[in-house]
Each structure stands twice: as C-alpha cells, then as structure tokens.
Chains A and B, each alone.
Chain A
Amino acid sequence: MAGQSTYKPSNGFTKWLDDRLPIMRLGYDSFVDFPTPRNLNYWWTFGGILTVCLGIQIVTGIILAMHYTPEATMAFNSVEHIRRDVNWGRIIQGTHAVGASMFFIAVYIHMFRGMYYGSYKAPREILWMLGVVIFLLMMATAFFGYVLPWGQMSFWGATVITNFFSAVPVVGDAILQLLRGGFAVDNPTLNRFFSLHYLLPFMIAGVVGLHIWALHVPGNNNPAGIPVKSKQDTVPFHPYYTLKDGFAIVVFLIPFAWFVFFAPDILGHADNYIPANSQVTPTHIVPEWYFLPFYAILRAITFNIGIPFTDITFIDSKLGGVIAMFGAIVVLFFLPWLDRSPVRSGGFRPMFKWFFWLQVISFIALGYLGSKPAEGTYVVFAQIFTAYYFAYFLIILPVLSRIETPKALPASISESVLKVEAKSATTA
C-alpha cells in the first residue's frame, strides 16, 4: 500500500523544502493521497475520533496545569478555583474530566472493532500490539489524573491501586514505597502522579505516531477483511475519509458536549467532592467506570492457588487477582497468535460471531459487577464472566480456527461492495 509517492511540489519553496526535508511529502502521502479501502464502515471512524480525544485532553490539560496546584493541602481547592474563578475554567475542567470518559468509550469501541474484523492478524500484529501499549498508557494516565483533584475517591483509589503492587513477591513493598513516595499515599504521591500525568500523554502521542506508521505500511483492514488488490478497491484518504471521519467526529462531540454542559458530574462519584481524608475510609471505594471490568476481574479471584488438600499456597488470592487483572490485558498482546483462522472478518465466520458478541456482553457484565460490592452472587457471576473472558482468548479462538468453516470470501473489495449495492437496490 505504501506505494510510490505521487506528491508534486507546487512551487519553488515547496520544491526547495522537499529536497531537504520531505515533510510535506510525508503529510501528503499519509493523509491526502493515502489509498484507503472504499468499504470502511463507521466503526472505522473511531481512530480519528481517538486522535481528537487525545488532542482535546492534551490542550485542556496543559491549560489546567497552569492553574492547578499539586500540593496536598491546596490541590482540592485549586481545582475548585479553576471551576469558580478561572475564565472558562469550568468548561475546560469539565471537558478534561468528561473527556477521559469519552476517550475510553471510543477506545473500547475501537478495540472491539479490531477484534471483530480481525484487524490484529498478519500483517498488522505490531499495529495491534502498539494499540495495546497505548491502552495501557491511557489507563495509567487516567488513573494518575483521577488522583489529582485530591478528593476522597482520588485518595482512596490511589491507596487501593498502588496497594496492588504489594502483592508482588519479595520486591512488592519496595515498589509500593517507590510509587507512593513513602509508607502511605500523601503529598509525595500527589507530586509524582502529577509529574507522570503530564508525561504519559506525550508518550501516548509518540506511540500513536508509531501506531499510524504501522497502519500505513500494510494499510487499513476493512469490513470484508480481504486485502486491497487493485486501485478499484480504494479511494484517496482525502477528501473521502477526511469528510466521513469529520462527520463522525462531530457526531461524537454531541454526547461529549451533552455531558460537559448539562451533566458534568454524572460520570463521576459524589464522594470525590469531599476533600481527601486519610482518617475516613469511604464505604465503597470504586474506580471510575472505565476500569470496572478489570476491577471485577481483580476481585473475582477470591481463592488461593496451591496444592489441594494441603496448606501449601503458591499464589494467594490477592496476588492471583492482580495477576488476573494484568493478565486480562497482557493476553491481548498474544491475540494475533491465539486466533489462527486465516479469515479476518467476523462477518465470514459463522461460529466466531456468537462467541465474539458473548465476549462483548460478558465485558459489559463485568463492568456492572465491578460497581457492585464483592459479595454473594456478584462474586460468582464475576468469576463466570472472568472465566469466559480468558477462555475466549485462550481456548475458544485457538479451537475455532481449527473447527470452523468460514463462508466464501468475495474475490475483491470492489466486488463485495458491488454485491451489497445490488442487494440493497433489489430490496429497496
């Protein structure tokens, strides 16, 4: 796909520049003339939406950092100062806070899209893995950011999440103290989290650059999941996809603005309007909604793993939970090699489809369970869905690729497109 460059410098200056630093050529080849499959549906617009989300978070974040005070006795009030007294501060702060949620909605859709259409398969394994790296960085950034307002949930969330690391054998306590900058979450924790919260988005931006680079070598996957074979299969990125993505981005901004202007607090927890207090533990410590599925997996491991009928324990439930939670993300790195089916698109895989949607439902159910107390039937269901989450990757996908008979693939993208057109013409 990354074929010959068709860029032609239009005047003396751009020609001079092109001979020295072909940056205009890079931009032209990547975002103007780039041949893109003509059959991409709206699920493919989330890449562009995510780029906008990152941009919004960085711009609003830099402005917030100009007014925020990362000091334990002043942080809470400095966020309120932004909301009350800084010009447009309430909207910038609201956009940043709501923006984190919108970012995660978009990234989950983007990831499930990749999983349905087999976008992780050869030759896009590195593209996929870079995506998982971005997801991990996003989670870290969002966690650090949520600590900064220094409310009760900030403080206790930081306490609970840093505490995971104490489950690591031998070096756990040392890691814990390094993360917190002391024996408990306090001002040093806030300071280092602020520093990291400012650093990580730029690392995300860097990995996004690699992600797009890795995308532009093989080119986009597409709903038919078959490679581009001729020029008939593609359209230039601009204006076809700039306009389609642009439309999708603006539509995405409508619910975004709805939350920012009409319900800025609905995605958060009321307890975070209580200033952090190390002496009072909230009745329920819950992470932000976008961490809930992983939180449910963490708490689903309520049993020790050891030699049955003896007292020997290899992995206690705490470490087991942490391993399961991180494992839920680590397993994504291996996805390209767990699913051996040569057919990419779920649309041509009659059995895969069912298991995929079950995985989506199970992930949503885990999110719901993560918000509930870890007791009674909630735990049982969390264990069932956690088991399914891992079984999907480790058992179902490898087995499916052996036993499933995929439907016949179209000969080319343009043929598949024409078939759809003909069908809708007859039904219309």
Chain B
Amino acid sequence: MKRMTSFVRSALVAGLVLASGPALAAGESHGAPAERQDWTFGGLFGTYDENQLQRGFQIFREVCSSCHSANLLAFRNLEEDGGPGFTEGQVKALAAEYTVQDDTIEDGERPGIPADRWPNPFPDEFIAKAANNGVVPPDFSVLAKARSIESPFPIWIVNYFTAYQEGGPDYIYNLLTGYHEEAPEGVDIAPGQYYNEHFPGNKLSMAPPLADGIVDYEGDEVPETTEQYAKDVAAFMMWVADPHLVHRKETGFKVMLFLVLFAGLLYLAKRKLWTDVAH
C-alpha cells in the first residue's frame, strides 16, 4: 500500500505536466473578463434543454441567419435525439419553406428537404463581405467551440476535474450582452463599428443584433429580454457545434462504470496472485 500511495503522489506531479497545457488556451487578455453562465448542458450530467434550443433556433432563424451561415447544419439535425426535438413533420415543413440550389436538376433550384443543409444567406464570400462592412460574418457550424473565455490560475486546473467545456457559449453570451451605446472617451469608433467590451480590440463590425422584445416567444413564461435571447441563442449555437453531446456523455457513463469495475476486479485478482510473492 505504501508503494501505492507514493505512486499516486508521483502521478500528481506528472499530472502537473499535463496541467501546464491549458495555459495555452488563455492567450492574451482581451476586453473585460467574461462571466461564466449557468448552462443546462454544463458539467458531467448536463443535457440540452429542448425548449431552450427551440427558442435559440427561433432567434437564429429570425435574427442571426440573415447574415450568418451554418453550413454544416442540416434540417434533419433538428429532429435528431439530443437536439431541439422538432418532429419529422415540422422539419419537413420547415425545409420546404426554403429554396435550395441543386445543380443536378433543371433550373437548379427546388424546395428544401430534411437532408439539405441550412441555406447560405449570401451567394459568395465577396457579396457577404460587401454587405457586412468588409467582414464575412463567421459561420455558425462550430463557432461555439472556436471561442473561449480565459480561466485564470488556478481555475484552469479545476477545469480538468469539472470537465468545463462551456467557454464558447460563455463568450457568446458575454459578447451579445456586452455592447455599449457609446464608446468610452478616447476610443474612436469608425462608422459601421460598434463598441463591445468583450470583443478583442472592442471594435465590432456587427451591430447589436438583439434588443428587448424583438423576438416573440410563444407563451408568457420566458422573458423577452436581450439577456434571455443571448442565453438561448448561445445554447443553440453550442448544440449546432456539438450536436451529439448528450449521447457522448451517456456513453461515457457506461464506459466509466465498466472501467472502474474492471479495474477493481483486476486489482483484486492481482493482489491475490501476488500475496505469496514478496515484491
């Protein structure tokens, strides 16, 4: 047993080598420190909230998707397990509302079907740039994974043990709620730019996309505020980036359970085998 504990102690030292990694995710300090949010899909047991994903989808559809593409999102994804939970009929009807390009048929255009990807708002990059102050609005497919917030020491070590993976939605929420009506004194903002305390460099070419009451949620329970919208759409973007999160975690529990039990059995077998062998 003594040998075992000294092994564990040394393994901790080795773990520090690993722990020196995350600092690389930290990078340079940009803007105001972002605040972490509570997410239903955070932590080990977290799963997406269907209602929230549906609301987030509504915001994406009515607000974001007029400029942002989501090239890897297919209509069929919206009915898949662990997602917003739309029915097959809803998805078919939704897809049919869109016209998609199809070079394999005459005229090159037809109504969408569930297998189609989300249509791009702009025909090409140059038009997208021209329409958006010279910047292509980033694609939503994996955007929530391509952003993160800084975790100062020693929080980034804790992240390994809490499996913190929500830096993307945290950043998006903070960005969407981080606009200032007027830039602080001494900061020059060019026409077509907006001051945002969370954006690197603070000058963002995206106008504040959300405002209280701009999207009409069904029912009265959920407040129609910028904060609520930001949260819902950030959750939706996380699902777009990681559509199989729930299935992944569910599988993980089974694998962990198996490994822990198997390790226990192996340990007992090993101990029995070695009882009479001094070592």
Contact = CB atoms under 8 A, between A and B. Distances in A.
Interface residues of A, number: 65
Contacts of A370: 20, 24
B248 A91 contact: yes
B18 interface: yes
B25 A247 contact: no
Interface stretch (B32-40, B212-220, B262-270): B262-270
Given A77-B72, A83-B244, A253-B259, A91 B25 contact: no
Interface stretch (B59-67, B84-92, B100-108, B249-257): B249-257
Q: Which of B27, B77, B244, B269 has the most CB of A within 10 A?
A: B27
Contact of A38 (B44, B159, B260, B277): B277
A273 B277 CA distance: 52
B229 to A, nearest CB: 24
Contacts of A265: 145, 165
Interface in A63-83: 77, 80, 83
B7 A247 contact: no
A247 B270 contact: yes
Contacts of A289: 18, 20-22, 24
Contacts of A257: 252, 255-256, 259
B187 interface: no
A368 B20 contact: yes
Contacts of B274: 240, 244
Given A80-B142, A266-B159, A284-B27, A42 B267 contact: no
Interface in A93-116: 94, 101, 105, 108-109, 112
B267 A269 contact: no
B82 to A, nearest CB: 11
B22 A266 contact: yes
B28 A284 contact: yes
A368 B255 CA distance: 32
B7 to A, nearest CB: 5
A67 B146 CA distance: 23
A267 B20 CA distance: 10
A283 B199 CA distance: 14
Contacts of B23: 368, 371-372
A274 interface: yes
B243 interface: yes
B256 to A, nearest CB: 6
Interface stretch (B9-17, B175-183, B190-198, B202-210): B9-17
B163 interface: yes
B17 A105 contact: yes
What secondary structure prevails in chain A residues at the interface with B?
Answer: helix
Q: Which of A38, A266, A267, A417 has the most CB of B within 10 A?
A: A266
B242 to A, nearest CB: 9
B273 interface: yes
A364 B160 contact: no
A109 B252 contact: no
Given A105-B14, A364-B16, A417-B279, A270 B259 contact: no
Contacts of B98: none
A262 B252 contact: yes
Contacts of B241: 273
B251 A261 contact: yes
Contact of A80 (B72, B160, B200, B253): B72
Given A84-B72, A258-B256, A273-B142, A42 B3 contact: yes
Interface in A231-274: 235, 239-240, 243-244, 246-247, 250-251, 253-254, 257-258, 260-267, 269-271, 273-274
7 contacts: A253-B259, A261-B249, A262-B44, A266-B159, A269-B24, A270-B25, A364-B16
3 shortest interchain CB distances as A-B pairs: A261-B252, A289-B21, A273-B146
Interface of A: 38-43, 77, 80, 83-84, 90-91, 94, 101, 105, 108-109, 112, 235, 239-240, 243-244, 246-247, 250-251, 253-254, 257-258, 260-267, 269-271, 273-274, 283-284, 286, 288-290, 292, 360, 363-364, 367-368, 370-373, 414, 417-418, 421, 424
Given A247-B267, A371-B21, 4 more contacts: A84-B72, A84-B244, A90-B247, A265-B165
